Amino acid sequence: MVRYALGLDFGTGGVRAMALAPTEEIEAAERIDFGHLAEQEAARVWRDSLFEVIAMLPQGVRKRIGSIALDGTSGTVLACDSELDPLHPPLLYHDARARVEAERIADIAGPEHSAASASSGLAKVLWLQARPDLGAIRCYLNQADWLTALLSGRAGLSDYHNALKLGFDVAAKRWPVWIGQLVPLARLPQVVAPGSDIGPIEHAQANRLGLAGDCLIRAGTTDSIAAFLAAGVRRPGEAVTSLGTTLVLKLLSEKRVEAARYGVYSHWFGRLWLAGGASNAGGGVLRQFFDDVRIAALSSEIDPQADSGLDYYPLPQSGERFPVNDPALPPRLSPRPAADRQFLHGLLEGLARIEAQGYARLAELGATPLVRVVSTGGGARNETYRRIRQRLLQVEVATAQEQEAAFGAARLALHGTALFPLQSKT
């Protein structure tokens, strides 16, 4: 019997499930939208949605699922008891209340460390640890770790990708000694490679969901890396640009690069590294001026091989983090020409220049130079924008055939650690 692989993507707005055949053809897909999710109810909604979205898949598909992997938002942390029940509402990925704790991390590990920010997983752990009312904390887990444990019944496991912002040393494959000065290491998860076999699904959950008892649970990843895996990029120098509300760059590199001042850090990718950064610029700026229909109509009138003659830095508001780090950098959106077509032309060129500067910044830091870009997100559908970007990036710019993070999570469930090259090709 052909077995399917199930990927589960827990993003900010909902959960998406996707089942793949061994050929990577999509056999079934379902989703649940969260709507406005209050902090107090987040864990309950995630737990309920995990089981509900699996149960929504056709029974014939569920019976043939042979492996499951899921992704979650990076830096979302829970403090759990021995029964895996959260003792406090989850601290979400963008939560920045742990500023004092981030300063403690910076004092010990240095300000350039990836965990030395208020939104890091480790800073959130220290904030939770200081709460006198939480009782007996058994372990701290990322969102993906917790949801995976609900399926496997095995608590206290994480993966290299989710554990990075907890301070895990992915090069040495261990927790740094200095972390033990801040938090008991016994409360931090054991960390394994993304896609590693954790074990079969818990018997009670298999019966509840109509899954085979030998269905394998694999270690997961973050939502952004799952989206990268969906694009199928494999060679050093190839990159994925996510063209959403903001501009996110991820580049496969033979060298690890880190620069916290630019928000640049590298994830483990077998023998390679996945280096990246995120600009505050992106499609959110365009929507301040035009809706999607107007953008499409105006784009058809633009010559992508011509220069607009405008020098914009299209930020939604003051402040940039990558490729320049300037919290006070103002948007540069003037002069505005009378013709909307020319104005949009300048905005698209401005975004493309930021993207080009971003990849140049990664190369300046030592990453493998860019050779090809694959695009995901809403902006990837704009052919004029693609050709402008190709002109300014001076490399091939393609559009990803599959863009759903759930597809990437399903590939992780299907292939496991084989997705990450461990040896150089000769």
Verify that 82 and 178 share a domain, yes or no.
yes
Please check whether residue 26 lies inside any domain of the structure.
yes
Please check whether residue 142 lies inside any domain of the structure.
yes
Verify that 151 and 41 share a domain, yes or no.
yes
User: Is residue 108 within a helix (H) or strand (E), and if so which, with residue range?
Assistant: helix 99-109
Q: In whole angstroms, give the CA distance from residue 288 to residue 367.
A: 34
Verify that 58 and 182 share a domain, yes or no.
yes
Q: In whole angstroms, give the CA distance from residue 143 to residue 162.
A: 9
Verify that 159 and 254 share a domain, yes or no.
no
Verify that 36 and 69 share a domain, yes or no.
yes
CB neighbour list of residue 97: distance below 8 Å, 6 or more residues apart: 91, 118, 127
Q: In whole angstroms, give the CA distance from residue 394 to residue 356.
A: 9
Domain carrying residue 200: 4-225+408-419
**What is the length of the chain?**
426
Verify that 291 and 198 share a domain, yes or no.
no
Please check whether residue 426 lies inside any domain of the structure.
no
Please check whether residue 187 lies inside any domain of the structure.
yes
Verify that 111 and 189 share a domain, yes or no.
yes
Question: Over the Cα atoms of the chain, what is R_g?
Answer: 22
Q: In whole angstroms, give the CA distance from residue 243 to residue 223.
A: 15
Residue 75: CATH number of its domain:
3.30.420.40
Verify that 259 and 212 share a domain, yes or no.
no
- Give the count of alpha carbons within 13 A of 32, CB side only: 19
Please check whether residue 282 lies inside any domain of the structure.
yes
At 194, phi and psi to the nearest 5?
-55, 135
Name the residue among 211, 168, 217 with its Cα closest to residue 190: 168
The model carries a pTM of 0.91
Verify that 102 and 204 share a domain, yes or no.
yes
> Quick one: pLDDT at residue 374?
97
> Quick one: pLDDT at residue 184?
95
Verify that 266 and 214 share a domain, yes or no.
no
CA quadruple 326, 332, 307, 387: dihedral sign: positive
At 351, phi and psi to the nearest 5?
-65, -40
Q: With contact defined as beta carbons under 8 Å apart, do 210 and 59 qualify?
A: yes
Instruction: Please report, for residues 93, 162, 191, 268, 402, the alpha-carbon distance to residue 406 in angstroms, rounded to integers and kept in the order given.
Output: 19, 16, 22, 20, 10
Please check whether residue 424 lies inside any domain of the structure.
no
Please check whether residue 425 lies inside any domain of the structure.
no
Instruction: Please report, for residues 44, 78, 199, 201, the alpha-carbon distance to residue 85 in angstroms, rounded to integers and kept in the order given.
Output: 10, 9, 21, 19
Mean pLDDT by 10 residues, the chain (426 residues): 95 94 98 90 96 98 98 94 94 91 94 88 96 89 98 95 96 95 96 98 96 98 94 96 92 94 92 94 94 96 97 95 91 96 98 98 97 94 97 97 95 97 65
Please check whether residue 14 lies inside any domain of the structure.
yes
- Please count the structural domains in the chain: 2
Verify that 258 and 221 share a domain, yes or no.
no
Verify that 174 and 263 share a domain, yes or no.
no
Please measure the distance between the N-terminal and C-terminal CA atoms of the chain and give it in whole angstroms. Answer: 36
